[in-house]
């Protein structure tokens, strides 16, 4: 993905849990000291495919630094059990012209 763009990120969870039972969720992106967290209201969940889709805005990707961006999903189910995924790494490339277009 590139800074200053609006990527749609698809995260596939290796789980048998029913994702429709999620009551609270954080998808956190971290690059150096910058952290961006999306919540349940910001994502689309496909329980059949076990996928979570999340979008970032131009402003958000411009805040992140070029290079590796860490991403992790944490969530709580309706039975109050909490889970976390492994930390994944995404690659973020730079753009020549800074700013929102």
Structure confidence by residue, pLDDT tens digits, 39-92: 999 999 999 999 999 999 999 999 999 999 999 999 999 999 999 999 999 999
Q: Which helix (H) or strand (E) holds 61?
A: helix 58-63
Question: With contact defined as beta carbons under 8 Å apart, do 42 and 57 qualify?
Answer: no
Q: Which band of pLDDT confidence, cut at 50, 70 and 90, is reported for residue 38? A: very high
pLDDT for position 73: 98
pLDDT for position 88: 97
Model's pTM, two decimal places?
0.94
pLDDT for position 43: 98
Question: With contact defined as beta carbons under 8 Å apart, do 23 and 84 qualify?
Answer: no
């Amino acid at each position: 993905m590139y800074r200053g763009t609006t990527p749609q990120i698809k995260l596939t969870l290796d789980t048998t849990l029913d994702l429709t039972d999620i009551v609270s969720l954080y998808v956190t992106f971290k690059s150096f000291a910058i952290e961006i967290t999306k919540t349940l209201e910001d994502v689309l969940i496909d329980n059949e495919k076990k996928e979570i889709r999340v979008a970032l805005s131009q402003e958000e990707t411009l805040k992140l630094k070029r290079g590796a961006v860490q991403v992790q999903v944490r969530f709580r189910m309706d039975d109050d059990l909490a889970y976390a995924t492994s930390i994944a790494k995404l690659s973020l490339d730079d753009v020549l012209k800074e700013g929102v277009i």
